[in-house]
Each structure stands twice: as C-alpha cells, then as structure tokens.
Amino acid sequence: MSEFYDAKETRSADEREAALMAALPGQVGHAKANAPYFAKLLAGFDAAAITNRAALAQLPVTRKSDLIDIQQENTPFGGLNATPKGKLFRVFASPGPIYDPEGQGRDWWRIGRALYAAGFREGDLLHNCFAYHFTPGGIMFETGAHALGCPVFPAGVGNTEQQAKAVADLKPAGYSGTPSFLKIILEKARELGLDHSSLTKACVSGEALLPPLRQALADLGVDVVQAYATADLGLIAYETRAKQGLVVDEDIIVEIVRPGTNDPVAPGEVGEVVVTSFNPDYPLIRFGTGDLSAVMEGQSPCGRTNMRLKGWMGRADQTTKIKGMFVHPRQINDVAKRFPAITRAKLVVDKHNDNDRMTLQVECAEPGDALAASLKDTLQSVCKLKGEIEFHAPGALPNDGKVIEDKRS
C-alpha cells in the first residue's frame, strides 16, 4: 500500500505551482460570478489576469475576524457562498456566531489526506471525539475517515468514563479530537484497568500540541500527529510521521502576509496565514485565518514535496488599546511604509510611572535625528498618540510576527 495519499503529494514544486496557477483564474472568476460578496470585492479585477502569486497578492484579503459583521449584513453566509443555501448538504455554526456551509460530495473538507498521513487505512475504526453539536469538527473528521474506508465511532465530547469503556470494548485503531482529551481518556482507562492498547495512532487538532503532551501520549502508546484545519477552509496543513513541520494541503494556495496588511512576507518570516481555496461551494479568495506561521525551508523527510508551515505561532490580530485608543497593526505598517529606509517596525507598549508608553522599534541601516523626528511626527499623525523611536540594525528585531508587543502586566 502506498505511503502517500495520492500522486499530488510527490509532484515537483514547478508542476504543483503550474497546476495551481492554471486553475486560479477560473476560481477567481467563479467567485466573482456566483458569490455576491466577491462580485463586489473583486469588481475592479480581471479574473483572467490572476495567473501568478504576484497578481494574487494584489487582491484584497478577507479576514475571518470580519466574518461576523459581514454575515450580519447578509445572512447567513455574507454572500461568500457560491452555492445557494438550499443546495448545500449541511450548515454549521461556529462561535461568534459564524455560519459555515458544507456542500455535497466526498470528503468536502479534505481531511482524508491528514488522516492518511497519520497512518489510518481502510478498515481502521476511528474513535472521533470532535464535537458534533453546532460546529463541523465531528463531521469534518468523520467524512475524511469515510473517504479512506474507515468506520467511525461518533464519540463526541465529554463522558470520560464511557469513552474509556468504549475504547476497551470497540478497540479502535485510532483517535481524532483534541490531544488533551485523548490524555484524559487514556488515563481514565488506566485508572479503571481498561485495555486501550488497540489505540495506537491519533490525528489531533483544536489546541496546541506541546512537546510534553506529545511525549505523555507516546508514553501511553499513541503516536500523535496534528492537523491544521478551520471550519471555513477545511484542511490547511497536516503533520506527517516525520514530525517536521506541517505539509500544506494540495488543493489550496497558502500565502504568509505581514499582519495588518495584504503584503506577502519574505520566505521564512513569520506572518498571517492567508489561504485561497478551490472549493466551488465556498470559494474563499485570500482568506486571512488570523493565525501566525512561517514557511520552512526544504521539503519533508517523509517524501511529500509541498511547502511546510512551522505550525501555529500565535494570532495576527494584535490590536491594542493604549491610553484609551485602539492601535492596529496596519497603522504601524502604514508608518513604516512611508520611510524606504525602514526594513521592519514593531511597536512596543509598556508602563512608565503608571502611564502607558509606546516605543516604535525600527530596523534601519542609516539612523539619524532627522529620521527619528519624522517618524515621531508620522506615528502621532497615524495613531493619534505620541511615541518614542528606537533604532536597531537590520535583522536585529526578532522574527516572531509581532507588529505590536504589549508588555504591560
């Protein structure tokens, strides 16, 4: 049996990029023609001209943080859906609420690829502990398992003792859900003297998988890998058994952009994960997830050739209230863009004599008093607040994706 889900996973980078870019104009055109939100947002752009990443980067970003307001203006999906509500398969509600559509078809969320990389094969029983109530998590992993020919026990959340008993009785091959809940179930099984030895693999999501928790689960006999997915996009990236970064899904385009802007960052730099999906029902074009990550160099030792993400590295929305005023990352980027000598900027907020203080840290090869004065004036003009300027050598500021760092306690 193949180590790979399909031949797409081992394509050359050039072959993959050519296929994605060839399909991109059609998807942008489809979104404009069938999704009212994108018809308005992209009205000034020629879909046929969006044939490369540079052209894609000229399109506006639609951020998940704005979905609640967008959907309230045009319920239930804000006009981002290309398939009418009456022709969908399911409809979900995520916290907010944000309403999420699911269309017809096999493995609509594309989770099968992540489960396959986790070691699931036809006939393996999946103990699925993602929620089935309101949100799509349970269905996402269930339909992915069905695409592999795997039966599913829809365990959902809670009922720890019953979960442990079901593991002992049904002897599932693997688990899906949050990693912390898996640890709780396995520890309960041990406490009750129940056999959990059949459960040897897991595909987890929904929370950070830190090294101590991964090791604790390994000590309990389970090899755990992660899937990065959202209710809007389905699978974005997935960990393989190499456990060296998350391999991007084959049916999306991922960009990393500077927080608060639409601009792609340099390779390896931390920024917001922005995804363009080829889903015909919900054609999200440059959808900002709000998550921070970075692209890793090289390819995975597992043999999959797509780009890899370093994993979740925080949230991109760093809006901060200072002296009663909100300051947004896009404002800091706006200040920096006005000065070609500035290569990177970060606003640090702390307390001085019990008062809020902000300092704009900038990387610049040729600092000077005149530049500092101009920066202070521009900062006050854009943010309506006074701040100090602190110069640093190019490359000196940390590559952490932070445009605003709040050090107040």
34-51: b (≥16 Cβ within 10 Å) or e: bbebbeebbeebebeebe
At 372 the three-state DSSP class reads: helix
Q: For residue 176, give both structure tokens.
A: 């899906």
Which residues, in sequence order, are CB contacts of 315 under 8 Å at separation 6+? 290, 291, 292
Which residues are registered as beta bridge partners of 362?
345, 391
Is the separation of the CB atoms in 396 and 311 below 8 Å?
A: no
Is the separation of the CB atoms in 185 and 167 below 8 Å?
A: yes
d(CA 336, CA 379): 9
Which residues are registered as beta bridge partners of 315?
291
Please, which pLDDT band fits residue 318 given cuts at 50, 70 and 90? confident
Predicted local distance difference test score (pLDDT) of residue 101:
98
| 184-207 pLDDT per residue, tens | 999 999 999 999 999 999 999 988
Predicted local distance difference test score (pLDDT) of residue 37:
98
Predicted local distance difference test score (pLDDT) of residue 133:
92
Mean pLDDT within 387-401 = 94
Is pLDDT above 70 for 281?
yes
Backbone angles phi, psi at 248, to 5 degrees: -70, 140
Q: For residue 6, give both structure tokens.
A: 């399909």
Tokens 């006005």 correspond to what residue?
Answer: 338
Regarding beta strands 287-293 and 62-63, do their DSSP bridges make them parallel or antiparallel, or are they unpaired?
Answer: parallel
| 375-387 pLDDT per residue, tens | 999 999 999 889 9
Please, which pLDDT band fits residue 409 given cuts at 50, 70 and 90? low
Matching CATH topology for 7-309 and 320-406? no
Is pLDDT above 80 for 326?
no
Is the separation of the CB atoms in 146 and 173 below 8 Å?
A: no
The 10 Å Cβ neighbour count of residue 73 is: 10
Angle of helix 160-170 versus helix 179-192 axis, rounded to 10: 80
Predicted local distance difference test score (pLDDT) of residue 19:
98
Task: Show me where the domains of the chain are located.
Answer: 7-309, 320-406
Q: Where are the alpha helices (DSSP H) in 35-111?
A: 36-41, 53-56, 67-73
Total length of the chain = 409
Predicted local distance difference test score (pLDDT) of residue 289:
92
- 268, amino acid identity: G
| 333-374 pLDDT per residue, tens | 999 999 999 999 999 999 887 778 999 999 999 999 999 999
At 162 the three-state DSSP class reads: helix
d(CA 274, CA 290): 8
- % of the chain beyond a pLDDT of 90: 85
Predicted local distance difference test score (pLDDT) of residue 207:
86
Q: For residue 197, give both structure tokens.
A: 């030895």
Candidate from 10-19, 245-254, 282-291, 306-315 with smallest mean pLDDT: 306-315
Which residues, in sequence order, are CB contacts of 267 under 8 Å at separation 6+? 295, 297
Helix (H) or strand (E) segment spanning residue 20: helix 13-34
| 121-135 pLDDT per residue, tens | 999 999 999 999 999
Q: For residue 300, give both structure tokens.
A: 């995975």
Backbone angles phi, psi at 286, to 5 degrees: 50, 65
Predicted local distance difference test score (pLDDT) of residue 396:
95
d(CA 406, CA 394): 22
Give the CA-trace dihedral at 321, 327, 328, 331, to 10 degrees. -170
| 50-79 pLDDT per residue, tens | 999 999 999 999 999 899 899 999 999 999
Is the separation of the CB atoms in 283 and 353 below 8 Å?
A: no
| 75-91 pLDDT per residue, tens | 999 999 999 999 999 99
Mean pLDDT within 285-305 = 95
d(CA 86, CA 47): 27
* Superfamily of chain region 7-309: ANL, N-terminal domain (3.40.50.12780)
Predicted local distance difference test score (pLDDT) of residue 1:
67
Helix (H) or strand (E) segment spanning residue 379: helix 369-383
Which residues are registered as beta bridge partners of 256?
273
Predicted local distance difference test score (pLDDT) of residue 210:
87
What sign for the dihedral angle of Cα 76, 111, 311, 124?
positive
Question: If you average pLDDT over every residue of the chain, what do you get?
Answer: 95
Is pLDDT above 90 for 255?
yes
Q: 320-406 domain in CATH 1.10.10.10? A: no
Distances (CA, A) of 166 to 283, 362, 370: 39, 57, 71
d(CA 149, CA 125): 9
Predicted local distance difference test score (pLDDT) of residue 328:
83
At 336 the three-state DSSP class reads: helix
Please, which pLDDT band fits residue 170 given cuts at 50, 70 and 90? very high
